[in-house]
Amino acid sequence: MTPQNPKSPTLRIRPARLDDVPAITQLIAANARRGGLLPRSDASIRAGIKNFMVAEPDSFHDVPALMPAFANDGHSVESAPASTSSLDARPQVAGCGSLLPFNTTLVELRSLAVDETLRGAGIGQKLVEALVEEARERKFGTIFALTRAVAFFEKCGFEVTAKENFPEKVWHDCVACPLLANCDEVAVTMELATDDAINGEHAPQPDSAFVPLVSIPLTPVSPAMTTTPAPSAAKTVKKVVLAYSGGLDTSCALPWLRETYGCEVICFIANIGQHEDPQTVRERALAGGASKVIVRDLRDEFAKEYLFPLIQSGAIYEHKYMLGASVARPIIAKHQIEIAEEEGADAVAHGATGKGNDQVRFELSYMALNPGLRVIAPWREWPIKGRNDALAFARARNLPITETMDDIYSDDDNLWHISHEGGRLEDPWDEPDERTFQLVVSPERAPNEAETVEIEFVSGMPKKVNGNELGPAELIRTLNLLGARHGVGRADIVENRLVGMKSHGVYETPGGTILRAAHEGLEELTLDRETTTFKQQVALRYADLVYNGKWFTPLRDALQAFVTVTQRDVTGVARVKLYKGNATLVGRKAVYSLYREDLATFMSDDVYDQTDAEGFITLYGLPMRVKAAVDRNRLGRILPKDANKRIERRD
């Protein structure tokens, strides 16, 4: 057979699958060895596989063997014919590329690589076209890339712009890049949010080689998605993905969904650091009737992408609540939606009650990520009215639960915190029983000797504890154990729920309490006064957004971009002393500290001229002097003359 023109091989551009991960890893590594792409681990590619696309030749014998098409993100290199012996070694993935969303409007095109044996076949351009189309389908407004192959991307419709237009990228990735000092990459961008795109005119045609990674219909949300279904609507539900914790609520929800809707129920267990072994919970779900159980280990993602940004923001709700449950719901919902799409489910469900905040947090996240999926909230539909009814429901079906009427607290735990509500805690006058606490010892039982811990931050991200570099989840676990031993991190709170009522709860957040003290200490050194003041205002709004379930919103994304920029100089070490329930900052040092001892000293110095303060005070107080003069003149016009003379004598 005569070889085809290398510019038009028989190709199929498709979403990547998990079995493509080894080939993608090899492609990126090959480009990285030539000094282009940074290498990516197998684990990181696997975690983001839903955002990758690959080029798959239908028939490799039709494509001539040639040298690499692109050394890095489309970077062109010199071509030369390759030996025919390389034909037998060609991989089943000819090229790859991915999208990295930074917020709801901005996405990066990255990891663009093509096999070295397929030089000049136009694969890179086809991948770019498919990824741009995918970004448009997902309703992103802007797509950008950092590259040296400017001409290639201009050919694909991109325009050159300044890197500074993408602070999310610069301060999230670039500051940590080992090649930053010698970086010569150029930012290129393309605007996607056109009227045609909104009207769907750029959607792929049925015969297109592009297959959407995620399809998000923007049709209005019908009442049936969030309210009790009519009998006819119930029959339309075939498969539900339930966010399953193994507690009383979701244990009851599992058989109830099967009985009420006659549907298949897939249980999703998010491992975000809860104390109970996920495999034990998995067995409980199978015993309860789940057709399939999917467990995902999200601990590092939870720590790095949710908890660390929370610490950076300084957000805390109503002075005390460190948002442990609030910040966990978005990551659970995100992966629940992914699983629903992968499994072809037509509904998602959760076990949150109709009185609490979690129902809002889950469902706002569902709406933001895939509004076309139906939402089933059992607590708003079933005849169960309280925990006593739920216990009776579970006993009648021999469900494997651990709760009893003697232990009816509502507990929620993850890597960040443990919360306790219900039972005796419903009376805010009652002191919590020591048996309530599962992690943090009472200050009375804490050691009589203090312990000091040092935490090192890089650009606001905690990296080391006492000089030991730890992964995100392991770092928080380490601080949890240290703080818990010293009674650090207990909080007794009456909070204002989003749904309008007050609730009383007890929280244990030892590691978070230590991190907050350490991070604030470094910010004291590195943030100027104006930024500090404004960031305090941002923290209040950020906390409200997280508490109210608005993680996946443009405003939260925008505030996060501001916070990320403020963290660029928050690099250093903070020392915190732990003693009898207290986490006290006792030392801090920063690489980019704005603190100068020679300026602040009370001893004699040659740096600061104290006589300069007089002129500053005169100008700074000028508005008050003018106001005082006006007030005195006004007073003089209405007082008797002898009073005016007394005032003048005092002057």
In sign, the C-alpha dihedral spanning 263, 400, 477, 584 is positive
Q: Would residue 433 show up in a list of annotated catalytic residues for this protein?
A: no
Which of 73, 249, 300, 413 is flagged as catalytic?
A: 249
Q: Would residue 251 show up in a list of annotated catalytic residues for this protein?
A: no
Give the three-state DSSP class for 331: helix
Which of 111, 326, 410, 419 is flagged as catalytic?
A: 410
State the Cα–Cα distance between residues 139 and 133, nearest whole angstrom. Answer: 10
* Neighbouring C-beta atoms of residue 292, cutoff 10 Å: 15
Q: Are 584 and 573 in contact (CB under 8 A)?
A: no
* Neighbouring C-beta atoms of residue 176, cutoff 10 Å: 11
Q: Residue length, the chain?
A: 651
Using alpha carbons, select from 261, 260, 329, 251 the residue that is nearest to residue 290.
251
Provide the Cα torsion 256, 262, 264, 265; round to 10°: -10
What residues contact residue 597 under an 8 Å CB cut-off, 6+ apart? none
State the Cα–Cα distance between residues 260 and 263, nearest whole angstrom. Answer: 8
State the Cα–Cα distance between residues 1 and 585, nearest whole angstrom. Answer: 75
Provide the Cα torsion 559, 139, 306, 365; round to 10°: 100
| Paired tokens of 96 | 């790859």
> Over the Cα atoms of the chain, what is R_g?
30
Which of 358, 412, 413, 569 is flagged as catalytic?
A: 358
State the Cα–Cα distance between residues 107 and 13, nearest whole angstrom. Answer: 20
Measure CA of the first residue to CA of the last residue in the chain; give whole Å. 108
State the Cα–Cα distance between residues 247 and 421, nearest whole angstrom. Answer: 14
Q: Are 218 and 139 in contact (CB under 8 A)?
A: yes
Q: Are 107 and 82 in contact (CB under 8 A)?
A: no
**Burial category of 186 from C-beta neighbours within 10 Å (exposed 0-12, middle 13-18, buried 19 and up):** middle
Q: Would residue 380 show up in a list of annotated catalytic residues for this protein?
A: no
Q: Would residue 557 show up in a list of annotated catalytic residues for this protein?
A: no
| Paired tokens of 28 | 């990126």
Which of 329, 361, 374, 490 is flagged as catalytic?
A: 329
User: Would you please indicate which residues are annotated as catalytic (active-site) residues?
Assistant: 249, 329, 358, 410
